[in-house]
Chain A
Amino acid sequence: MPDVALNIKVKDGAIVEEGLSYVISSWDETALEAALQITEDVGGEVTLLTIGPDKAAESLRKGLAMGAHKAIHVKYDEAKESDSFAFAKILQKALEGRNYDLILTGKQAQDTDAGLTAPMLAEFISLPQVTNIIRFSDVSEESITLYRKGDHGTEVIDMNLPGIVTVNDSLNEPRLASMRGIMMAKKKPLEEIELDSLDIPAEMRGKQGSMTNVLQFEKPETRKEGQTFEGDEADTVKQAMDLLVSESKFLA
């Protein structure tokens, strides 16, 4: 998905494609790092799964270069037309008949910032979910202990496997691919699946399969230009505080 650290331009109700650079969503990289750490610790293998157009394969290969063992690419050119609900349904189909102990993903996608898909998928495949984790411990074949950043503190949760976890980027610092990893990635299995072979009818796809719809994109409200104060803090803070009170009614 687009690298949101770069400039994002909105024009005529749409995001301007030109100048966008496509990357793995940063929270998903955190999820991959967590998965790699788990398999390094207790064994097993990491499979990457993405739904998207041809160019999404590049992100999978980058993930393989980081150390994932294999990848599945569900090819879907109009992926952008689907909402979280439709994505969760397609993921459900893609996972049918496959074995897994733990599904990890980012707490949200960095383009939509919605955070809906993973819990919806969890519901559709009847798995427990723990979202927004900042730590994990005690990984075994049967269970994992998760530390979730909740509203009133860190919630400590034991989850039996299989289950779904979404990660907060405080969890780890994703590794960079090594030269050897980059080279080995070319030889790792990358399974390509056409949407048609997943028995996904037209009414599950795109806008038809979606429950919500983005009418258009708009520019966020820009803040009016502020004032800057330079000099001795004793003076500048007083000046700023005076204006804060007179202009902005601070503590009024």
Chain B
Amino acid sequence: MTKILIVAEIKNGEIKKNTLELFSFAKSQGLESEAVLLGSDVSGQADVLAGQGASTVYIGDDASLEIYNTEQYTSLVIDALQQSQATQVWLTSSEMGRDLTPRVAARQGVGALSDVTQLEINVDEITAFRPCMATKAVQKCEFSKDGLRVISIRSGIFSAEETAPAPANTVTLSIPEGHSQLKVREVQVEESDEVELNEASIIVSAGRGVGGVEGCEFVRPLANELGAAFGASRAVCDAGWLPHKHQVGQTGTMVNPDFYFALGISGAIQHLAGMSGSKVIVAVNKDPDAPIFKVADYGIVGDLFKAVPVLREEVGKLKG
């Protein structure tokens, strides 16, 4: 019988929206789901997962799991999998998911499908669609052999349903040793109270056109006022105007928000590949021939330094 083991992701002690999306999708398909919940001081979140429909929550809660590391996380997912007898493992295609998906699959001796954006499930027969070639084509894929299905799914594809927490049926996993050859020293977190790119329903992004650090700070209040994540193009991050975690695009974070504001972004191919799945795109750029206007629903040809104050004013009115 089909059973899905979903690898939950945590940020600031809470379950991330992209994880909730996977549970909501499983539920909508009438599939039984279980969860594996890993981190430091995370056990309290098991009830949230139970509320989302996880019939069992496998918990690995230990200080050593504070920062993601491939080896311990792989072992724990495999341990949960063996206890659960799940037929499928679902992850999100976050940086953690991208690292973990192939390793879990390989340890089980099976293949994987990564960064899936559409999923058709008939028991354990799966048809998955995934963008490739910088989103210029889409692969329609299947698993060609029997066995465990390991899939990573892009965030923002399914909608997350808000549910009340419920008492969880939990299983505590024993904490394995990490890889003797690897030592995770620290995670350099910048401004962690910000909305994360792959969590946001609105993203405001700055491009080379902002001209520098001051330009980024000129744009940032618009993101804050909208409750939006603050994104950037590769040029901005490579120049050091903003940390890399803000980078939207194939090299940074692939995003599919409801609204995407591209300010001073010309639209290099890897940026477009990373954000053209957004539902509505608003672009401001001086150059009327900028590629970003090819994907924009509302393209404003003009100076972002003049446009941003008007945008803020309009947003202020809308927010009342």
Contacts and interface: CB of A to CB of B under 8 A. Distances in A.
A244 B298 contact: yes
A15 interface: yes
Interface stretch (A4-12, A41-49, A64-72, A93-101): A4-12
Interface in B242-289: 243-245, 247, 250-252, 259, 269-270, 276, 279-282, 284, 288
A156 B139 contact: no
Report, as a range, how many residues of chain B touch the other chain: 35 or more
B144 A115 contact: no
Interface in B107-151: 107, 110-115, 127, 129-145, 147
B63 interface: no
Contact of B99 (A114, A131, A210): A131
A153 B113 CA distance: 26
B79 interface: no
Contact of B132 (A112, A212, A216, A233): A112
A19 B252 CA distance: 29
Nearest to A231: B302
Contacts of B70: 119, 128-130
A225 to B, nearest CB: 9
A217 interface: yes
B151 to A, nearest CB: 10
A10 B137 contact: yes
Nearest to B147: A211
Contacts of A245: 318
A4 B99 contact: no
Nearest to A233: B306
Report, as a range, how many residues of chain A touch the other chain: 35 or more
Interface of B: 9, 11, 67-71, 94-96, 98-99, 101-103, 105-107, 110-115, 127, 129-145, 147, 179-190, 192, 196, 198, 226, 234, 237-238, 243-245, 247, 250-252, 259, 269-270, 276, 279-282, 284, 288, 293, 295-303, 306-307, 310-311, 314-315, 318-319
Given A114-B130, A218-B129, A236-B302, 5 more contacts: A5-B269, A110-B134, A128-B182, A163-B182, A251-B319
Interface of A: 2, 4-5, 7-8, 10, 15, 83-85, 88, 107, 110-120, 122-124, 127-132, 134, 145, 148-160, 163, 168-170, 207, 210-220, 223-224, 226-234, 236-238, 240-241, 243-245, 248, 250-251
14 contacts: A83-B111, A113-B132, A123-B103, A130-B182, A149-B244, A152-B245, A160-B181, A170-B244, A211-B144, A211-B145, A218-B137, A231-B302, A234-B306, A250-B259
The 7 closest A-B pairs by CB, nearest first: A211-B111, A123-B106, A153-B189, A119-B102, A233-B306, A8-B136, A237-B310
